[in-house]
Amino acid sequence: MGNQEMFFNIISAELKRLETSIQKSQNRIRNISDDAKEKYQSELHKIEKHKDELAARMEAARVQAEAVSKEIKSGIEYGIDDLKKAIDKVSSRLK
């Protein structure tokens, strides 16, 4: 597993833990007064929205990183093939 994949796995796990914490908090506010409940629900809604935005940004970064990795790999493979052809061409002339 590469560093990049490990990073995304760590962030995904942390987002899952945060989602669990949000759910626990939502369960707790069910037992409080309506005035306090409304305030906490509003705060939790903002927190959940922020978490969702972060998750979307992370997923976009993951997709972009995969695309860049493929592009780099393709470019390197093309470069290697180019070098091989150039070396073969020179080697064949030297025989």
Q: Where are the domains of the chain?
A: 3-94
Q: Report which secondary-structure segment, H or E, holds 76.
A: helix 34-94
Measure the CA–CA gap between 27 and 64, rounded to whole angstroms: 36
Secondary structure (DSSP) of 2-64: -HHHHHHHHHHHHHHHHHHHHHHHHHHGGGS-HHHHHHHHHHHHHHHHHHHHHHHHHHHHHHH
Span 46-80, pLDDT tens digits: 999 999 999 999 999 989 988 888 889 899 998 99
Span 7-43, pLDDT tens digits: 889 999 999 999 999 999 989 888 888 888 888 888 9
pLDDT, residue 4, reads 84
Q: Residue 79: CA atoms inside 13 Å, Cβ hemisphere, count? A: 6
pLDDT, residue 32, reads 85
Residue 2 has pLDDT above 90, yes or no: no
pLDDT, residue 1, reads 67
